[in-house]
Every structure is written in C-alpha cells, then in structure tokens.
Amino acid sequence: MKRDKNQKRTSRHKRVRAKIFGTKNVPRVSVFKSNKNIFVQFIDDEKGRTLLSGKGTVVSKDAAQKTKTERSAAIGETLAKEAVKAGIKKIVFDRGGFKYQGRIKALADGLRKGGLQF
C-alpha cells in the first residue's frame, strides 16, 4: 500500500514538472512534506540553483503549541517576505505531487499573504 501510494505521488509530480518551469524572475517553489516537517525551495531551473529555502520546524515553545498546518502557513509568510526583499514578486507553485489541501494549501495561502503572486 505504501509503495503504491508513493508511486502515485511520484507520477503526479512528473506530470506536473513536465509543464512548469522556473526562471530567476519567476522561480519555481518546490514543496516536500514529511510527517513532521515541510521543506520549501525557490528554484531557478535555467541555472539549476536554489535561490531561497526554508523548513518548517519547531523553533520555540510557542511554535511547538501550533499545529503542523499553522506552522506551514507561518513558514510560507516568512519565506514570502524574504523573497520580496530579494526582488521576487511572482512564482510558479510546484506542489510536488501532493494534493492541494491541508499543509500544502496553508503554505500556498501563507505565500500569497506574504505578497507573492502565483
């Protein structure tokens, strides 16, 4: 069951990656979620470089009280503010084959709230 589930996610990811491409001005925001954390990268596919990256982890005792979804939204806002400072205003969102719900949706909403356009 687990292997089949991962294979389906991988095939969804390949299908999405065939259609989207990031540049320096409009980078691809790649998302990976594990059971405990969420990992985000702003990627320039032309040069194959990561422009910004972040990870949703427990930093303080206040953050430990938040749910994983709330932490995902917070990391989205934080990274969006850093991206705006770096001169990035538009992005292409790569959900990594994950369904657009829960933590992925909260992250996307946090990025929008921080000032980025999809």
Please work out, in degrees rounded to the nearest 5, the angle formed at the alpha carbon of residue 57 by the alpha carbons of 93 and 112: 30
Q: Is the pTM of this model over 0.95?
A: no
Domain count, the chain: 1
Q: Is the pLDDT of residue 58 over 60?
A: no
Report pLDDT for 63.
Answer: 60
114, 52 contact by CB (below 8 A): no
> What are the tens digits of pLDDT across the range 74-107?
999 999 999 999 999 999 999 888 999 999 999 9
CA of 21: how far to CAs of 25, 89, 92, in Å? Answer: 11, 16, 8
Report pLDDT for 82.
Answer: 93
- Residue 118 domain-assigned (yes or no): no
Which structural domain range is residue 19 located in? 2-113
Report pLDDT for 107.
Answer: 94
Name which of 41, 16, 9 is nearest 27 in CA terms: 41
Task: Give me the chain's average pLDDT, please.
Answer: 88
- Residue 109 domain-assigned (yes or no): yes
